[in-house]
Copies of this chain bind each other. A is one copy, B any other.
Amino acid sequence: MARSAVKLADVAKAAGVSQGTASNVFSRPEVVREEVRERVMATARELGYTGPDPKGRLLRAGKVNAIGVATAEPLSYFFEDPFARVVMSGITEICDAHGAGISLVSAMNDEKLAWNIQSALVDGFILFCIEGGPRLVDLTRERQLPFVALELGINDPTISGIGVDNLAGAKQAARHLAELGHQRYGVLAMPFFDNRSGPIPFSEVPTAIYSDSRSRVAGYFLVLQEFGIDVDAIPIYETEGEEETARQGIDYLMSLDAPPTAIFCMSDRIAIAAIERLQERGLRVPQDVSVMGFDGVPEGAFCKPPLTTMAQPIAEIGRQAVKAILEDDGEVKRVTLPVELIVRESTAPPPR
């Protein structure tokens, strides 16, 4: 910056060559005669010129060689949320392989978010569409760069997106618990709407703005119904996807007249908090209550008891997302990945 005002043109002049040649010395050394190349290099060294400034190149080249990863959450989300971290691992893997950089984009408020998305120096975006997802998509569309949405709730067929088969996953989860013989269920849901939590009647679920949560409830209930369960009586508690409301959800569910013996949690993070809360309340998992997660984050394997869950191919989601950006051909690309039941120790037949 201030330290070096030397630019390519200065070097060229000092070395007595045209700017074009000087440029070639750095970006295509093989085309310039060795003698000239050495002279230019020497002059550059003398002048303290350390090579072309990427800012200049960028403008001409048009490509930044970096992809933006954006969310409406604070930046720390990427390093703290277990799911996000595994997705990021997948993203970094492909970026590393392509030599592409990663820019993290987020913002505290809407205005800043808009600005940050508008001005991020990237070739494309990967969107973590959680809370505030639709807004994030709109903002990014404005930018007219390739982007792909990680469908952590949203499911808009007009844009590229990577998601999982929520319905199939939820059905499989339900089948597992139903086959264990449970009769009384509860659901600790991911958000259906923004900024709210609490019990929610089944009848309101179809109006949810987050389709993943909707599909999962649908999947659970479809199978449960097949098993002859009265799904209308199953209590659903909407969390905000984090620990605090998950705990409140447990308190709510377990204080009902006929508390559930099996609980569907729509994320492992919720499930782990749920287990903790159940244990605090003196209940044993899985002997008294079975807990089923969703996501398959690494933490699930290490909690006590290890969590039974529907595992998403989380890292693969990240990989596919990067590929969708890097190999963007202007087409809308939609990928649905399978989920897999991982039975560990948080589920068992109902008590008695």
Binding site for B on A (CB under 8 A): 1-4, 50-51, 54-59, 62, 64-66, 74-76, 78-80, 85-86, 88-89, 92-93, 95-96, 99, 101-108, 112, 115-116, 118-121, 123, 142-146, 330
Contacts and interface: CB of A to CB of B under 8 A. Distances in A.
A350 to B, nearest CB: 29
B62 A59 contact: no
Contact of A55 (B51, B92, B116, B121): B121
Given A54-B121, A101-B116, 5 more contacts: A55-B58, A64-B121, A79-B79, A79-B89, A103-B104
B85 A96 contact: no
Contacts of A79: 78-79, 85-86, 88-89, 92
A3 to B, nearest CB: 5
A59 B50 contact: no
Contact of A99 (B59, B66, B88, B116): B116
20 contacts: A1-B123, A4-B144, A50-B118, A54-B119, A54-B120, A54-B121, A55-B62, A58-B58, A75-B93, A75-B95, A76-B89, A76-B93, A79-B89, A79-B92, A80-B85, A92-B104, A96-B107, A99-B112, A104-B104, A121-B121
Does more than half of chain A's interface fall in helix, strand or loop, or is it mixed?
Answer: mixed
A118 B54 CA distance: 7
A224 B50 CA distance: 49
A115 B85 CA distance: 26
A23 to B, nearest CB: 15
Nearest to A303: B302
A287 to B, nearest CB: 21
Contacts of A54: 118-121
A50 B57 CA distance: 23
Closest 5 pairs (CB-CB, A-B): A75-B92, A54-B119, A79-B88, A102-B104, A79-B85
B120 A2 contact: no
